[in-house]
């Protein structure tokens, strides 16, 4: 089952093109940030696919975006400039970091993307009492734009079905993550990463069917490897399978993560407490585990991260930062001190679009040896 999801991850464009052929009345929407309300798009028979990089060297973005912007944003823009997402019918972004917003703006101007583009004014100040009512009204405006695009009305019943579909996806992935609390987890961190990222590219109905099969098989699954050091990865967007595969080759297992290509994407559900689906969707995205760009003035995510580390019996954390990623660059030094003050040893790494794994391997081996020796990695 995991191999099927890996195939989708590696051949995401083929999957989307095939979906379009099988759904002649449907549309494919590329999105740049996981703060987009997928519930609304599924209610409109639109397939939302996350636009990610390819982890390849490129030389096409310099005229459009600063070289000091994070490599993920530049890699994302390169995919559009190279024509790899030429099947998209539209693109959208929610209010995100400055770098990713620039990728979206450049894509909108220079890359063919169908007939639709939308910028959702997602509040950065999620900790204010105004965030939910503000976002609700923004979602109403978004819904009207989608209705104009597809030439049809999106009913409350369709929205509820979209909510149910997304909640089922979140619930299944969280149940699979729960199995990683075991002393010998039945899946690796690499498999968990592929599971989540493929879900950002696949039709959730199809993805859910595979997740149900995985969940049924996991109680009988045993990995032919030692668990080793129980690690947590935290930080910027991370779908670098080569880095995770290298990390888990060092007698270690990533048993939990906290980033937008992992648990942060699906951790909470949309709760319908009344007959207002738009309010429920707004609450879900305001109260989800936050990206650091939306986690102020208090850093609420720190306690959530510590809770995960304790629940999954983590002994070491890898703090992943995309090079030049300002939100995580501000957070990580404080987060490191917070976690080490709670007996979670930390090691920061700075990733690029393409990474030389050899030097990382040497440094991480030393870090794991320090954990095994019950020593702090830093003075």
C-alpha 43: how far from chain center:
21
Pairing type for strands 345-351 and 252-258 reads unpaired
Q: Are residues 96 and 225 in the same domain?
A: no
Q: Are residues 89 and 209 in the same domain?
A: no
Q: Are residues 253 and 200 in the same domain?
A: yes
100, 135, 154 - which closes a domain: 154
Residue 13: pLDDT band with limits 50, 70, 90: very high
Q: Are residues 62 and 147 in the same domain?
A: yes
Q: H-helix or E-strand containing 131? A: helix 131-150
Strand order in the sheet with 27-31: 46-50, 27-31, 90-94, 116-120
Instruction: Specify the length of the chain in residues.
Output: 379
Question: What pLDDT does residue 274 have?
Answer: 86
Number of domains in the chain: 2
Contact 236, 70 (CB under 8 A): yes
Contact 13, 85 (CB under 8 A): yes
Contact 79, 8 (CB under 8 A): no
154, 185, 207 - which closes a domain: 154
- C-alpha 15/C-alpha 221 separation (Å) is 28
Note whether residue 379 is domain-resident. Answer: no
- 191 is in which domain, residue-wise? 161-372
CATH number of the domain to which 133 belongs = 3.40.50.11890
User: What are the contacts of 248-251 at 24+ separation with CB within 8 A?
Assistant: 248/188, 248/189, 248/190, 250/361, 250/364, 250/365, 250/368, 251/226, 251/368
Note whether residue 378 is domain-resident. Answer: no
Q: Are residues 139 and 245 in the same domain?
A: no
CATH number of the domain to which 361 belongs = 3.40.50.11900
125, 154, 183 - which closes a domain: 154
Q: Are residues 41 and 179 in the same domain?
A: no
Residue listed under structure tokens 């990222």: 197
Question: What pLDDT does residue 374 have?
Answer: 64
Q: Are residues 206 and 354 in the same domain?
A: yes
Note whether residue 377 is domain-resident. Answer: no
Q: Are residues 199 and 282 in the same domain?
A: yes
Crossing angle of the two packed helices 277-287 and 131-150, in degrees rounded to 10: 120
Contact 379, 363 (CB under 8 A): no
Q: What is the pLDDT of residues 201-254, one digit of tens each?
A: 999 999 999 999 999 999 999 999 999 999 999 998 889 999 999 999 999 999
- C-alpha 94/C-alpha 1 separation (Å) is 32
Note whether residue 122 is domain-resident. Answer: yes
pLDDT greater than 60 at residue 197: yes
Residue 174: pLDDT band with limits 50, 70, 90: very high
CA distances from 187 to 209, 223, 264 (A): 18, 7, 19
- C-alpha 15/C-alpha 20 separation (Å) is 9
- Sign of the dihedral defined by the CA atoms of residues 304, 190, 269, 326, in that order: positive
Residue 258's CB is within 10 A of a number of other CB atoms, namely 21
Note whether residue 86 is domain-resident. Answer: yes
Crossing angle of the two packed helices 189-199 and 204-217, in degrees rounded to 10: 160
pLDDT greater than 80 at residue 375: no
Contact 371, 345 (CB under 8 A): yes
Q: Are residues 213 and 140 in the same domain?
A: no
Nearest 5 degrees, angle CA 372-CA 373-CA 376? 100
Note whether residue 269 is domain-resident. Answer: yes
Q: Are residues 249 and 110 in the same domain?
A: no
Q: Are residues 248 and 311 in the same domain?
A: yes
Q: What is the pLDDT of residues 76-125, one digit of tens each?
A: 999 999 999 999 999 999 999 889 999 999 999 999 888 899 999 999 88
Q: Are residues 147 and 255 in the same domain?
A: no
């Amino acid at each position: 089952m995991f191999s099927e999801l890996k195939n989708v991850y590696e051949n995401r464009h083929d999957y989307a093109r095939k979906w379009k052929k099988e759904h002649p009345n449907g549309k494919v929407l590329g999105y740049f940030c996981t703060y987009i309300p997928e519930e609304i798009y599924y209610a409109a028979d639109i397939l939302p696919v996350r636009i990610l990089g390819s982890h390849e060297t490129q030389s096409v973005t310099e005229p459009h975006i600063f070289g000091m912007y994070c490599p993920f944003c530049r890699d994302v823009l390169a995919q559009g400039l190279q024509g790899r997402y030429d099947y998209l019918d539209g693109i959208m972004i929610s209010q995100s970091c400055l770098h990713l917003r620039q990728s979206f703006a450049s894509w909108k101007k220079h890359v063919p993307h169908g007939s639709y583009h939308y910028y959702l004014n997602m509040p950065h100040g999620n900790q204010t009492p105004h965030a939910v009512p503000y976002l609700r009204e923004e979602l109403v405006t978004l819904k009207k734009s989608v209705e104009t695009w597809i030439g049809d009305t999106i009913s409350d019943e369709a929205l509820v079905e979209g909510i149910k579909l997304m909640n089922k996806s979140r619930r299944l992935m969280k149940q699979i993550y729960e199995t990683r609390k075991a002393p010998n987890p039945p899946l690796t961190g690499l498999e968990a990463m592929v599971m989540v990222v493929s879900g950002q590219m696949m039709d959730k109905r199809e993805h859910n069917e595979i997740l149900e099969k995985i969940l049924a098989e996991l109680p009988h699954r045993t990995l032919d490897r030692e668990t080793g050091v129980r690690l947590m990865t935290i930080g910027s967007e991370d779908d670098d399978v080569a880095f995770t595969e290298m990390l888990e080759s060092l007698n270690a297992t990533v048993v939990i993560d906290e980033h937008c290509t992992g648990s942060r994407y699906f951790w909470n559900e949309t709760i319908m407490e009344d007959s207002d689906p738009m309010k429920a969707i707004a609450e879900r995205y305001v109260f989800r585990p936050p990206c650091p760009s939306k986690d102020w003035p208090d850093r609420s995510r720190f306690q959530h991260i510590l809770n995960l580390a304790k629940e999954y019996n983590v002994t070491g954390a890898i703090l992943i930062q995309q090079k030049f990623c300002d939100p995580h660059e501000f957070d990580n030094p404080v987060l490191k001190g917070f976690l080490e003050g709670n007996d979670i040893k930390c090691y920061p790494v700075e990733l690029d679009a393409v990474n030389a794994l050899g030097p990382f391997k040497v440094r991480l081996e030393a870090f794991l040896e320090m954990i095994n020796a019950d020593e702090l990695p830093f003075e």
